[in-house]
């Protein structure tokens, strides 16, 4: 495979997550161009990759739970070209002390937590009274902001410990801007997402991703680091880069900071460990943030009934070599990002490199957002380049 000439391809894509594969599929199918996808991992799909655990046959999302949901009709129609979806609706539960509550905060949680039945109007009045301790506009840190939104009792039970574990920082030392809102539903609705469309791919994420790449004009080369081979790519070859933005420029403006996740997988000799796909552990003295039980993501499948797979999830600051998940986005990061965006615009103009995806824009993107962004890049940048001879340079290459 190494003997293949990079000059044989019309477009090079770095990274095989949803953003990169959407671009690859559109260019191959709509423009009949040859596309080379370079992936440093041993598999395609980026963080959406899933695989069957061999002992139980249960499909596990290797990089944490991936839940597909969108209100974008175009994205939904596009995805359905490659996969059917189950009727799965995501529901989360939160364990505090010795009790489990339906989450996010709703009327059932309020009634259960405070030990009596409240009507919606009574619950609103209760939370408003408790939140009145601090005016939101006066909040100086995350803790004060949280109290001003939901009141001290709910904040201390459901937000304080979980946030401290997520950020490895006391909430009084975190900026209030980290949380813009804490939703409280004054109904018994415990559906986690409110989007028009929701479900999980019937045959799993990897099958979906493989279908996107299954085109004679697309070649995917795994275990290839772009930085090891980019000198072999002819100058000016259009490239879509979805790796870390700072890494592309050799961290010249400083490293951008990220949160990462660690996973501890266990096969348990029981048919059902927790009765739900996701249970958050909100108490600070529990080291992990949540437990995922993957059999519950696909109740329609005939999985073995004697064992189950659980994954404990831990959150921490990313270090060099870690997989980046969530941008920290401190003021220092934002200042660096502005400098990197300017470098990226120059690189697009000078070298025909576009930057996209979660890592390439330093933005957290849900799957539907990555796909939608890729469709927009194809429409606005890539298709006009190939069909009309327009320059790739433009403001759409790095998201604002």
Query: Which residues carry out catalysis?
Result: 181, 185, 259, 290, 313, 364, 366
User: Which tokens in the block code for residue 78?
Assistant: 């596009």
How far is Cα 92 from Cα 271, in angstroms, rounded to an integer?
A: 20
DSSP string, 336-371: HHHHHHHHHHHHHHHH-EEE-HHHHHT----HHHHH
- Does residue 91 contact residue 69 with C-beta atoms inside 8 Å? no
Beta pairing class for 258-268 and 308-317: antiparallel
Residue 241: closest CA among 361, 372, 356, 157:
356
- At 328, phi and psi to the nearest 5? -75, -40
Computed from CA positions of residues 287, 291, 167, 344, in that sequence, does the dihedral angle turn out positive or negative? positive
CB 205 within 8 A of CB 354: no
Task: Give the up-direction half-sphere exposure of residue 80: CA atoms within 13 A in the CB hemisphere.
Answer: 13
State both tokens at 232: 């072999």
Residue 149 burial (C-beta neighbours within 10 Å; 0-12, 13-18, 19+): buried
Q: How far apart are the first and last CA of the chain?
A: 38
CA distance linking residue 116 with residue 195, whole number of Å = 31
CA distance 21 to 44: 9
What whole-number distance in Å separates Cα of residue 370 and Cα of residue 355? 12
Dist CA 370 CA 70 (whole Å): 11
């Amino acid at each position: 495979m190494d003997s293949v000439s990079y000059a044989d391809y019309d477009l090079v894509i770095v990274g095989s997550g949803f953003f990169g594969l959407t671009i690859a599929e559109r260019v191959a199918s709509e423009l009949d161009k040859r596309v080379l996808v370079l992936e440093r991992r041993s598999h395609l799909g980026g963080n959406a990759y899933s695989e069957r655990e061999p002992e139980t046959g249960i499909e596990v999302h290797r990089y944490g739970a991936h839940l597909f949901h969108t209100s974008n009709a175009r994205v939904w129609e596009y995805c359905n070209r490659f996969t059917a979806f189950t009727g799965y609706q995501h529901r989360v539960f939160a364990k505090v002390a010795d009790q489990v509550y339906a989450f996010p905060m709703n009327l059932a949680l309020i009634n259960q937590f405070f030990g009596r039945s409240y009507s919606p109007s009574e619950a609103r009045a209760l939370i408003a009274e408790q939140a009145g301790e601090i005016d939101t506009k006066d909040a100086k840190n995350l803790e004060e902001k949280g109290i001003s939104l939901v009141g001290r009792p709910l904040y201390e039970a459901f937000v304080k410990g979980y946030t401290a574990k997520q950020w490895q920082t006391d909430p009084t030392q975190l900026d209030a801007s980290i949380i813009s809102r804490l939703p409280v539903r004054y109904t018994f609705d415990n559906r986690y997402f409110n989007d028009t469309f929701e479900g999980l791919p019937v045959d799993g994420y990897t099958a979906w991703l493989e279908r996107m790449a299954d085109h004679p004009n697309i070649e995917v080369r795994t275990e290839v680091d772009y930085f090891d081979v980019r000198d072999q790519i002819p100058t000016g070859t259009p490239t879509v880069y979805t790796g870390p933005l700072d890494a592309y420029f050799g961290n010249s403006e400083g490293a951008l900071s990220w949160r990462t996740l660690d996973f501890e997988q266990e096969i348990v000799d029981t048919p059902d460990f927790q009765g739900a796909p996701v249970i958050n552990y909100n108490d600070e003295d529990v080291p992990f943030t949540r437990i995922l039980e993957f059999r519950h993501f696909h109740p329609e499948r005939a999985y073995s009934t004697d064992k189950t797979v659980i994954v404990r999830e831990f959150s921490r600051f990313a270090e060099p070599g870690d997989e980046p998940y969530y941008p920290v986005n401190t003021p220092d990061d934002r200042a660096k990002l502005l400098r990197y965006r300017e470098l990226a615009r120059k690189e697009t103009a000078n070298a025909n490199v576009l930057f996209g995806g979660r890592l390439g824009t330093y933005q957290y993107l849900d799957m539907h957002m990555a796909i939608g962004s890729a469709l927009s890049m194809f429409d606005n940048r890539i298709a006009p380049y190939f069909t009309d001879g327009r320059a790739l340079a433009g403001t759409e290459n790095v998201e604002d």
